[in-house]
Each structure stands twice: as C-alpha cells, then as structure tokens.
Amino acid sequence: MGWGDTWRPKRSRLSWANAELNAAAAVCAAQLAVACAIWWVGTFDDDTHGAGSGGGLAAAGLLCMLVFGPLLLAVLGLLHAAAHTMPAATLARLTTRRVRGSEGAWHLAFVVVLGVLWAAVAVVLGGVPPIGTIALLIAASGVLPGLGVAYVRRRERATGRVPRSRRIWIRSALASFGMCVLVAVAGAVGLSTGLIEEYEPPKLSAEQLAGVWRGDGGAVLRLRAGGRADLTALPAQPEFQDVTTKDFTRCDGTGSWFLDTEGRYDPYVDTDDPSQRDGVVVHIQDCGHDTYWTIGGSEGSPELFVLFGDPDSGDLRILKRD
C-alpha cells in the first residue's frame, strides 16, 4: 500500500516525500477506523427505529465492510494527508525559513489553522453548524498524522533511512485493528455490566401524545384528545392494489387514532415479545390503510416512526413533536 519509498532529506525542499505522505495517510486511516469503532459503541443506546435489523442485511453489510472498508480507509487517509497534513507541513517549512521556532510546533499550529479553514468550507457548502465543533474535529484529526510525519523525519535524521511504505501501512493496520478490538471488547463489557445502558423507548400516555407532530415533506399529524386526528401530507400504508408499486401514500384530511400498548397492530412485532413497543394507530378516512406509528426517541424528545416496505431496507419516516 505504498506510493514510493525514495526519500532524500533537504531542508529547503518543499515537495512531499513519499515516506512522509504514506505515514500521514496510514496514521489517518488508522485513527478513522478507531473513530468508527468508538462511534459504533456509542450507538448501543441509540434508537435504531427498527431499520436494517434483518440478519441478511446485517451480514451483507459486515461482508462489504470487511472487503471494501480497508481500501476506503486508505483512500480517505490519502485524501486527508494531501488536503490537510502535508499542506500544513509545507506551510511550517516556509514559516521556519523566516521565523524562529520548531518546525514540528509550526506544523501542529498550521494543522489547527487548516482545520478552521476546512471547517468553514464544510459549513458553507454543507450547511453543517456549529463551525467551532467541526473545526475542532478536523484540527484534531491532523494531530496524529502530523506526529507520524515528525517520526519519519526523526527516523531519517537518526539512521539515515526511512521506513518502507509497506511497513508503515502494515504497522498502521495492525495498530488500528488492535485498538478496534479493544474498543469493541470495552463496549461488550460495558453492556454486560450495565455501564452502557441499552436503549429503552419512552412510555407515553394518550394525554402526552396529544399535540402536533411534524415530519419530512410537510407531513403534519395533529392528535387531538378524544381520538380525532387531523393530517396533512401524512405518509400512510398504501391501498392493497398499490402495495407492489409504492411503499406508502400521502394523505390529507381527518381520521382517528388510539394508543396501542400491546403491539397488536404492529406488523413487525411479535405480540408475545416483552420488549415490543407502544404505538399510535392512525385510521385515515378514504386514504390508505391503518398505519402503526411506533413510539421512539426519549421522554424529553419523543418521536413517532414507521418503516414502510421491506423491514430490512424500507423507507423510514419519523415525526417529531412540534
């Protein structure tokens, strides 16, 4: 997994040595893998909304991750090195020609500066606030790769040689694999000991459910006390003759609703399963079939959701309290 191994140290050189580029990319790929493992453990107490729970889909996803994951991480690591770590190294070298100070310290400083710059670009293009958090994450992502570049340079000064690119990538892969295993084991121990609590849906009464719920596409569901429901562009189970052509239909008008605490109307839940969720059954007049909106979210931020179509890869629709 190398991009060349020839490297000649020159203090005035501004081009990127292949060994430095490989070190930055390999370290970045390793930290991305560990970050993904930490994120995965952090989802243990999240509401999955029942999406993608099928064994076949999970197995296929795991296989794709094992086959394509290392290559994807390597590509992302190389892009990160080319856009963040190595430009910061070039700026540091230019700065030390005119200003006193350690090139390594200047490198880390420019990692932070470029982190802020790329965060601003992300906010402008993607509209992802807040910029402070994004800048901190991007800047932090360049620290370890920057230290990897510094290690390669120290190794060259001390021995006159630099590590071969293949060796750099192998060591990075082994280190990231070991860290991912540790994170996964820690997550499993946390679940078994109760340090990490599995997600539990909220239990809401009919009075607590009454109110306005909104979703994508202008969907509005107003649950009134007494069982009346007013709706606008609300997704609903399609008519029988439309099941093969669309996952759901959108309905306007009035209907009725009631709280189901036994899961009798949930098409995806075994009523004998003690972990089944409560839900809201919405009956719409002259539009689609009764739709079971499962209760999710949390006590402070409840949600109603339904998975239309295939339970492994269906169309998930979520309503949130207005």
pLDDT at 290 over 70: yes
User: What's the confidence (pLDDT) of residue 40?
Assistant: 87
Bin 14: left if φ > 0, else alpha if -120 < ψ < 50, else beta: alpha
18-27 pLDDT per residue, tens? 899 999 999 9
Bigger pLDDT: 297 vs 62: 297
Work out the average pLDDT over 307-319: 78
pLDDT tens string 127-141: 666 777 888 888 889
pLDDT above 90: residue 161? no
CA 51 – CA 164 distance, rounded (Å)? 44
Residue 4: band (very low, low, confident or very high) from pLDDT cuts 50, 70, 90: very low
DSSP state letters, 60-115: HHHHHHHHHHHHHHHHHHHHHIIIIIHHHHHHHHHHHTTS-S-HHHHHHHHHHHHH
What is the distance between the alpha carbons of residues 80 and 98, in angstroms, rounded to a whole number? 27
Predicted confidence (pLDDT) per residue in 176-218, tens digit: 999 999 998 998 898 888 888 878 888 899 999 999 999 998 9
Percent of the chain topping pLDDT 90: 37
Q: Which fold has domain 206-321?
A: Lipocalin (2.40.128)
Tokens of 247: 């996952």
The predicted pLDDT at position 312 comes to: 63
- Crossing angle of helices 55-80 and 18-42, in 10° steps, is 150
| Domain definitions of the chain by residue range | 18-193, 206-321
243 or 291: whose pLDDT is higher?
291
Given a cut of 60, whether residue 275 has pLDDT beyond it is no
pLDDT of residue 3 exceeding 70, the answer is: no
Mean predicted lDDT score pLDDT of the chain: 82
